[in-house]
Amino acid sequence: MTDISITAANVLAGSGASIRRGTAGATITAGQVLYYDGATAKYKLADCDGATALRTPVGIALNGASDGQPISLVDRGPVTIGGTLTAGVAYYLSPTAGGICPVADVLSGDYSVILGIATSASVLNVNIQESGVAL
């Protein structure tokens, strides 16, 4: 599995991005994919081969935070991801907690969750789509 290598300091919301705010429920780095844990009312790291809640991402973190600290995330729209993307390629939720990977790295048994499509070498247009099925 080859996740996108993200430089946290370079993660930025684009113009028109929809931003959520809440409380972190784990140690989070900007650029990681998050899900919302309704039992704790906190955002935690998502992955595509965990329990159902974990593979239901809601956005990409814009800042780093520790458990109990404020967190902001893009849930729809453009985000400069701080890593190198290939324009026109779909990017998926990784089985690595919080990770983002290209479609070619989604493995058998992983649940297919599209995070968005790259619009340039640095911008991901977030539009989360869950398939609900494992490959």
Regarding the domain delimited by 8-134, which CATH topology (the fold level of the hierarchy) does it fall under? Virus Head Decoration Protein; Chain: A, (2.40.300)
For residue 96, the 8-state DSSP code is S
When pLDDT is cut at 50, 70 and 90, the band that residue 1 belongs to is low
Q: What is the pLDDT of residue 109?
A: 84
Q: Summarize pLDDT for 67-90 with one digit per residue, the tens.
A: 999 999 999 999 999 899 999 999
Distance CA 108, CA 8 (A): 29
Q: Do residues 94 and 100 touch, judged by C-beta distance below 8 A?
A: yes
Mean pLDDT value across residues 18-42: 97
Asked whether residue 105 carries a pLDDT value surpassing 90, the answer given is no
| pLDDT class of 39 with cuts at 50, 70, 90 | very high
Closest CA to 98 of 73, 67, 61, 51: 61
| pLDDT of amino acid 110 | 86
With bands split at pLDDT 50, 70 and 90, how would you rate the model's confidence at 108? confident
Domain range list for the chain: 8-134
